[in-house]
Structure 1
Amino acid sequence: MNEVSLFRLYLLRGVYLFIVVGLFVKVWPEIIHHDTPWELKEGVVNCMLAAFSLLCALGLRYPLQMLPILIWEMLWKAIWLSIVALPLWSSGQMDDATMNVAISCLVVVIVPIGIPWRFVFARYVKKRGDRWR
């Protein structure tokens, strides 16, 4: 297995910390202090972001074990940006709400910087998978 340098581990922890702090400031006040019931999508999104922040907090202690959560975050945002935001933007039909979501999603550019890609390749691509039987 490829050894991940201490510098890369701290860089990865920095990504987790950035996410934890950002979601603590943005989402947790809404979770703790919401006065009225949320609409379905708003409730789903806030609860998923709260769970994501807790998993990223766990990533501060176990940065390599929590890599799949960062990869998931990076992939869904890249997919959404390419198949929802980019076509709307390129056709000039993007509204303010979609633009705000796109800007929030663009913060994902920091995630690939912290990911130790050699480790990911060795662990999730080259390594044999678990047996099926």
Structure 2
Amino acid sequence: MYTLARFFASDPQRHEGVRPVQIWGLRLFYFLMLIFVAPAAWRVLLTHNGPWDPLRAIAFAVWATYPALALFGLIHPLRWLPLMFFTIGYKAIWLAFVAWPLWQAGTLWGTQTGEIASSFLALPLLVAVVPWGYALRTYVAWPGRANAMAPLGT
């Protein structure tokens, strides 16, 4: 039980006070990006014939790049948090502007859009593993004011 409790407790000595469960959760999502998104995107890029629709080409170029960067996130999960912010952002925007209206109209499921939406439904888990306190201290606090946003008792 002690080991399990440590897994969910913050550790000020390692990972700047971020809970090990969040570190491993981040690593899991980086790994999933690497093994599921990158190969699919690269397959489309490498096997495409003929001229590209420019917007479709941009989408596949982004989908090939950001999960390839997830390799670095496996090694340094906190340094690569902006990659998670990007992932959360684009998935949330897509769900809000593409999937939500179709879902409200009752035309989402059973379509290719529905398949994509179902793959995005793990978004709350991704949001849950992001150490938001660390993110605010590191990416939002003004320089020299990082301690002002530190949790009480640290």
Residues 15 and 110, structure 1, Cα contact 8 Å, conserved in 2: no
What SS is found at the alignment partner of 2:98? helix
- What code does the residue aligned with 1:74 have? I
Of all paired residues, the percent bearing the same amino acid is 27
Stretches of structure 2 that go unaligned for 5 or more consecutive residues are: 1-11, 145-154
Residues 85 and 98, structure 1, Cα contact 8 Å, conserved in 2: yes
Residues 38 and 65, structure 2, Cα contact 8 Å, conserved in 1: no
Stretches of structure 1 that go unaligned for 5 or more consecutive residues are: none
Does structure 1 residue 104 correspond to structure 2 residue 93? no
Does structure 1 residue 23 correspond to structure 2 residue 37? yes
With normalisation by structure 2, the TM-score equals 0.69
Relative contact order, higher structure (CA 8 A, sep 6+): 1
Q: What residue number does 2:149 align with?
A: none
- What code does the residue aligned with 2:60 have? N
Query: Any idea what the Cα deviations from partners look like across 1:79-113, whole Å, max 9, x if unmatched?
Result: 22123321221123448243233223324333223
Does structure 1 residue 115 correspond to structure 2 residue 99? no
Q: CA RMSD in A?
A: 2.5
1: distance between equivalents of 2:19 and 2:103? 40
2: distance between equivalents of 1:7 and 1:94? 34
2: distance between equivalents of 1:8 and 1:79? 24
